[in-house]
Amino acid sequence: MTEQDTGSAVDLGRQAGADVKVLMVPNGYGSLNRSLDWPTGSYTFLPYHPFVSRSPAAAHFLAAMHQFAPQVTPATSNMAVIGWLAADMFIRGLREAGPCPTRASFIQGLRHVEDYNADGLLVNRIDFSRNRGVSDLCFSFVQYDGAAKGWHAVSGADPFCGTRLTTPAS
């Protein structure tokens, strides 16, 4: 579902009388589409600390985006963050690979990293030695405020970590 579809679906539901109490959307925070009017009270989750938290890692990211990619607006877009994280992981893998990196040494080196967190930008540290192919358990949550036309961090939910469910033994 696109960002536009999400907002439209909620608006149509409310117009039809649906009493939407909680809306958890997978998109919206840092959207490049400035014309969207998100439903007030919408929540979304992030694997990184929200920029409104003003963490040192967020400040570093924003300063670097302003200096090296001023054409990306807003700098807080999910695509910018994903690109930053991909580049940061790539650089970390190159460092771990040693002085003459190969594909094999890059992969092997990155698989020895047990505490990757993009210098504090990610909510949870990633252990590449064990957690390949599993979803994260910790997220930040933000909520949309229609009056302010912006997102704010949800108090008490940064980070919020779940527990991995396992299939019960039969």
What string of H, E and C letters represents the secondary structure of 63-124?
Answer: HHHHHHCCCCCCCCCHHHHHHHHHHHHHHHHHHHHCCCCCHHHHHHHHCCCCCECHHHCECC
Q: What residues contact residue 53 under an 8 Å CB cut-off, 6+ apart?
A: 140, 153, 158
d(CA 164, CA 137): 7
Per-residue pLDDT of the chain (170 residues), as tens digits, is: 666 677 777 778 878 988 776 777 666 676 656 566 667 777 888 888 888 888 899 999 999 999 999 998 888 888 889 899 999 999 999 999 999 999 999 999 999 999 999 999 998 888 998 877 777 888 888 888 878 877 888 887 667 888 888 887 76
Please state, in angstroms and rounded to a whole number, the distance separating the CA atoms of residues 122 and 31: 19
CA distances from 21 to 3, 35, 97, 126, 152 (A): 19, 24, 49, 33, 18
